[in-house]
Amino acid sequence: MRGRRTSLIMLFLFRMVLYDDPLASAQNFTTVVSTVDTTTKTPPVPGYQTIPANVTVAAGEPVEFRCGVSKAAPNLTLTLYGSHGNYSLKCPDGHIEDIPQALSGNCYIKDGESLAVWTMKGTAFPDNGTRVVCQQENNPKTPSAVLHLYDNGSMYAALIGCCVGGFFGILLVFGLMFLILRNSNLPVQCLERSPEDDLEDIIKE
């Protein structure tokens, strides 16, 4: 009967660790924030068909900035001012690929429009405030846009999840140690031994 009760306790501890999802529990303490891109509408600018718009996303999300002019006057420059440096994309024939920063710039001719596109495949908090400026050749107007990043709480959720998981792991280890020692005769033998018994063992050796 005693052994059966011990087995049931051990199974209960294993079930508690295996089926509890600490990360999901931790996320209940965070505020759910939408990661949908938002843009700020800007009035039409003479000479431009597409102008860059402000973007607000969660850190880690990809971002894209666009600027376009008529194919009849296709020359334009889309400059990105970021924490890792400044990059100028000259269209219609330019192309820039910066692998370490996961940044790429490409030019397209599409639907009668010369289009310059900056793509950030991943964002981090140092990228907050990144600015792009579009400049058409012989046009004094220079529309611009800014990147705004926010924290969606995933980092804090992961940290809390690790703490909760660690707590249950330690609880399991101590629970198993307690059960093993309680059912073992080793602690009793250690307490019942006298210094004379230890001395006799040494002499026998």
pLDDT score recorded for residue 30: 37
Backbone angles phi, psi at 70, to 5 degrees: -65, 145
Residue-level pLDDT at 155:
58
pLDDT in the model for residue 23 = 41
Whether 42 and 131 map to the same domain: the answer is yes
146, HSE (Cβ side, Cα atoms, 13 Å): 4
Q: Which of 147, 125, 142 minimizes the C-alpha distance to 79? A: 142
Strands 55-58 and 144-150: parallel
Rounded to whole angstroms, the Cα distance separating 52 from 5 reads 68
Question: Do 134 and 114 fall into the same domain?
Answer: yes
The conformational region for residue 103 under phi > 0 = left, psi -120 to 50 = alpha, else beta, is beta
Strand order in the sheet with 76-82: 38-39, 55-58, 144-150, 131-136, 76-82, 85-91
CATH of the domain at 45: 2.60.40.10
Structural domain including 160 reads 2-28+154-204
Q: Are residues 11 and 80 in the same domain?
A: no
Domain identity same for 131 and 182: no
Average pLDDT by stretches of 10, the chain with 205 residues: 55 51 40 38 77 94 95 94 91 82 90 94 91 95 95 70 83 82 63 58 59
Domain count for the chain, please give it.
2
Query: For the whole model, what pTM was predicted?
Result: 0.57
pLDDT score recorded for residue 96 = 86
Alpha-carbon distance of 16 to 169, in angstroms, equals 10
Looking at residue 195, its amino acid is P
